Homo-oligomer: A and B are copies of this chain.
């Protein structure tokens, strides 16, 4: 029997690990708050040992994705340039212990004369392709820095980062809109959200569209409780309007709450989508491990 894989998603603010059987079954999951920002230089081996050392004692392979491979992490795993698929990434792992523990590199691409990067999302993309049995897809991974990823023939050929979640939080908490918006995050008001999505499509950019959250409140034409949903629709709508329509459903990968919100925005814009959870990342690391075995 093949040894199981220890898959690790080591991000800025959290550390998650899973033991995965040779057939892809997730046998066990662990999570801790030991994100890379909490780990001093040199402290990474011990934190990994503390989290899942019992599982590493055998001859398990351990693949670590996410910000642990960044300059501020365990060791810098240089970005792999797009186009890149399973084979290119498997060939460019940064090995901490040869054959045992490796950091999965992020990817970089160049669009309109500027670089773009991702680190961690690529394994979710690979996992989604594996789960769906697809060779070609357009994927959207919503979040603080959303990614829109184009895959052709199982290789990531291009992607774009949008500062959607971060700009929403900035407008929500630090802008003039903070004075009008409710302090807590009320449940999604679907009508206000879709109105925001549609207004973002018509308006001349977010700088202009965002001010409408203020004026609608000023003239009492939208209830205060609905304004956060409206602003969320504006910001997500601004992200999604940049993407060309696709005949194939887009693939959303992320938390249920966020992918449901994006799916609603996409439907409002006439675009079908299907959603997968972030556990696609485990499947992506498993697929990478299989690629290594076959290499």
A residues apposed to B, CB below 8 Å: 112-117, 145-146, 160-164, 166-167, 170-171, 174-176, 199, 202-208, 210-212, 215-216, 218-219, 221, 235, 238-239, 241-243
Chain B residues lying within 8 Å of A238, measured Cβ to Cβ, are 205-207
**Complex: how many Å from CA A167 to CA B171?**
8
Q: A116-B211, A238-B205, A238-B207 are in contact. Are A163 and B175 (CB under 8 A)?
A: yes
- Taken together as a complex, chains A and B put the C-alpha atoms of A215 and B116 apart, in Å, by 6
Contact of A113 among B117, B199, B235 (CB under 8 A): B199
Please state if A207 and B204 are interface contacts (CB–CB under 8 Å): no
From A204, A206, A207, A235, name the one whose CB has the most chain B CB atoms within 10 angstroms: A207
Least distance between A70 CB and chain B CB atoms (Å): 10
A206 touches B205 (CB 8 A): yes
Instruction: Give the shortest distance, in Å, between A217 (CB) and chain B (any CB).
Output: 10
- Stoichiometry (number of copies): 2
Question: B174 near A208 (CB under 8 angstroms)?
Answer: no
The smallest C-beta distance from A177 to any residue of chain B, in angstroms, reads 9
The distance in angstroms between the C-alpha atoms of A208 and B275, with both chains bound, is 23
A205 & B161 in contact (Cβ 8 Å cutoff): no
18 residue pairs A–B, Cβ–Cβ below 8 Å:
A114-B215, A115-B215, A115-B218, A115-B221, A117-B218, A145-B176, A160-B208, A162-B205, A162-B207, A163-B175, A163-B176, A170-B171, A205-B206, A205-B241, A205-B242, A206-B207, A207-B238, A207-B242
The answer for the CA separation of A210 and B166 in the assembled complex, in Å, is 11
Q: Within the complex, what minimum Cβ distance (angstroms) separates A25 from chain B?
A: 37
Task: A115-B216, A167-B171, A207-B235 are known; give 16 further A-B pairs, CB within 8 A.
Answer: A114-B199, A114-B215, A114-B216, A115-B215, A116-B212, A160-B208, A161-B208, A162-B208, A163-B176, A167-B170, A205-B206, A205-B238, A205-B239, A205-B241, A206-B207, A208-B239
Q: Which of B212, B219, B239 contacts A207 (CB 8 A)?
A: B239
Q: Are B164 and A207 in contact (CB under 8 A)?
A: yes
Q: Which of B117, B235, B242 contacts A204 (CB 8 A)?
A: B242
